[in-house]
Amino acid sequence: MRRFVFSTRFAPLSAAVAAALLAGSLSLHAQAAGTNPDGSQSENVTLSTGKQAKKRKGDEPKESKKDQKVQQSKDTKAAEKKRLKRNPLADVDKNLPDKQLYDKALEALNKGHFDVARLDLQTMLNTYPDSQYQMRAKLAVADSWYKEGGSAALAQAEAEYKDFITFFPNVPEAAEAQMRVGDIYFRQMDKPDRDYTKAMHAQEEYRNMIQQFPQSTLVPQAKQRLREVQEVLATREAEVASFYASHENWAAAIARYQTVADTYPLYSGMDQVLIGIGDGYAAQARFVRGANLPEGPKAKLEQEFDDRAMAAYTKAVTEHSASNHVEDARDRIAALNRPQPEASQEQTAASQALENSRSQYKLLDIAKIMFLRRPDVVQTATIGEPTMADPRPTLAPEVAKFVEDSFREALNPGAAAARAPKAVQAAPEAAASETPAAAQPGAPAAPATPLGFNDINNPADGSAPNSGAVNMTTPAAAPASGATGTGVGLEIVTPRTYGLKAVGGSENNQALPPVEKPAAAEDTVNDVAGQKTPAAQQAPANGKKASKPSLDKSEESSSKTKKKKGLGKINPF
| Per-residue pLDDT, 66 | 56
Of 206-220, 303-317, 357-371, the one with minimum mean pLDDT is 357-371
Of 5-19, 138-152, 388-402, the one with minimum mean pLDDT is 5-19
- pLDDT higher at 418 or 152: 152
In angstroms, rounded to a whole number, what is the distance separating the alpha carbons of residues 144 and 137? 10
Q: For 103-113, what is each residue's pLDDT tens digit?
A: 899 999 989 99
pLDDT tops 80 at residue 549: no
User: Torsions phi, psi of 560, nearest 5?
Assistant: -90, -35
| Per-residue pLDDT, 50 | 45
In angstroms, rounded to a whole number, what is the distance separating the alpha carbons of residues 118 and 137? 9
Could you give the C-alpha distances from 437 to 455, 483, 564, in angstroms and in order? 16, 17, 112
Q: Where are the domains of the chain?
A: 94-229, 248-411
| Per-residue pLDDT, 421 | 39
pLDDT tops 60 at residue 494: no
Q: Quickly state the pLDDT bin for 371 (edges 50, 70, 90).
A: confident
* % of the chain with per-residue pLDDT over 70: 58
Strand partners, 47: 28
Strand partners, 525: 532
| Per-residue pLDDT, 180 | 96
- pLDDT higher at 268 or 368: 268
Question: Mean per-residue pLDDT for 264-273?
Answer: 95
In angstroms, rounded to a whole number, what is the distance separating the alpha carbons of residues 143 and 524? 81
Q: For 468-483, what is each residue's pLDDT tens digit?
A: 444 444 444 444 444 4
Question: What is the pairing mode between strands 27-35 and 41-48?
Answer: antiparallel
| Per-residue pLDDT, 201 | 96
pLDDT tops 70 at residue 90: no
| Nearest Cα residue to 278 out of 248, 249, 321, 314 | 314
Instruction: Rank 30-34, 71-75, 484-488, 528-532 by mean pLDDT and report only the highest.
Output: 71-75
Our CA dihedral for 456, 459, 462, 467, rounded to 10 degrees, sits at: 50
Q: Quickly state the pLDDT bin for 78 (edges 50, 70, 90).
A: confident
* % of the chain with per-residue pLDDT over 90: 48
Neighbouring C-alpha atoms within 13 Å toward the C-beta of 310: 16
Q: Which fold has domain 94-229?
A: 1.25.40
Could you give the C-alpha distances from 23 to 11, 44, 52, in angstroms and in order? 19, 19, 16
Contact by Cβ (8 Å): 230, 223: no
Q: For 121-148, what is each residue's pLDDT tens digit?
A: 999 999 999 898 899 999 999 999 999 9
Q: Which helix (H) or strand (E) holds 492?
A: none
| Per-residue pLDDT, 269 | 94
pLDDT tops 70 at residue 189: yes
**Cβ neighbour number for residue 363 with a 10 Å cutoff:** 7
| Per-residue pLDDT, 29 | 42
> How many residues comprise the chain?
573
| Per-residue pLDDT, 453 | 45
| Per-residue pLDDT, 507 | 56
Largest interatomic CA distance in the chain: 186
Q: Quickly state the pLDDT bin for 370 (edges 50, 70, 90).
A: confident
Of 31-35, 194-198, 329-333, the one with minimum mean pLDDT is 31-35
Q: For 236-256, what is each residue's pLDDT tens digit?
A: 999 999 999 999 999 999 999
| Per-residue pLDDT, 432 | 44
- Angle at Cα 541 formed by Cα 535 and Cα 543, nearest 5°? 115
| Per-residue pLDDT, 459 | 46
pLDDT tops 60 at residue 274: yes
